[in-house]
Structure 1
Amino acid sequence: MSIALDVYQAFKDDGEHKARVLAEAFDRLERRIPGNVATSDQLETTKLALQKEIEQLRADLTERIEHARIEHTERVEQLRADLSERIEHIRAELSEKIEQNRAEFSEKIERNRLEIQKVRAELSERIEHIRAELSEKIDQNRLEIQKVRAELVEKIERNRVEIERVRTDLSERIENVRWSTIRWVTGLLVAQAAVIVSLIKLLP
């Protein structure tokens, strides 16, 4: 069993199955070798038997390797087919999800567009309403300003007339006071003159 073990260790790196087959072959060969020294005929017979056994083992090994290669190829093809099927299934799922997301996104965009149009219409309506209110208030303020201006003009005119009247009254009063003052001063001067004349007459 030592040779078979050596063979197994030597060919193990080339393949577990190959190393095991060779080890079994050498094990069977070791069992057939007699323990004592063999004759030439026995050695020739043993040699032929060993060659036959080796050929049989080579044929078995070749068949097993071919069978393993076919199984490996079939497995690779099956794995490739499974992988292709999975990839196609994933591609189909991704395409479906992409289309679904695209549809949802388009729907959201359309909803947002309609909402924006609605808000824009409401804002336009509010702006128009505010503009109308402002125009109305401006017109009202304009009328109010015109009314206030007219009232101010009227008051100014009344005050101007009143000022003219007061000025006239003051002028008349001043004139009256001036004449009164002149008459009073004239009377005073006349009286003083009379007093002076009387005093002069009284002098010796």
Structure 2
Amino acid sequence: MVTWAALLTVCIWIQTHTASGQHICPSTPRRLVDFTVKYSLPHFQTDKPIQNIAVNHEEHHSDVYVACQNLISGVSYTMEKTWEVKTGPVGSTDCETCLSCDIEIDPADPVDTDNEVLLLDMSAFPFPNLYICGSTQHGICHFIEISPQEPEPKCLFRKDNNSPTACPDCLASPLGTKVTIVDQSATLLFFCSRLCQ
């Protein structure tokens, strides 16, 4: 615990040095900002608005995962696309997540997938997992193992344990969802808050 006497001594010492012209920090002359300088910064451009971002901070490199409508992209630290996974439109032959869960397509559902949830699990071994949950197909989730190979989405939906009226595996809502992962005793727990109609 700092005593009042010690605190008072430090304050007097700072004021004495400042008053005597001795500066603790050297001052640098102020320069005006030159707005004519053009900077070339690395960037990544998407075709649609970004809905979610996850960042992988590793010691030797960093990757960014970007979610847009119907698409998840892996982007390197130099801002170059390294891979992509199509999450929609539902019914399209390009959609890589649409048929992986063997779930019937509801004609009343929206076609375009808003990627509501994008979470990175660094505790997975040997490679991290990226969890994605979309607004279509009742809000079911998939995971992608982030490895040197091409990403292949895997389903996190058990058809025999879910129904349209009771679906514990359906996390995302078309109205908005927030999810947090908690790692506890080698088990991942998903805590989610979603908006319902």
Check whether TM > 0.5.
Answer: no
Structure with more helix by fraction: 1
TM-score under structure 1 length normalisation: 0.15
Q: Which structure would you say has the larger RCO, counting Cα contacts within 8 Å and 6 or more residues apart?
A: 2
Structure with more strand by fraction: 2
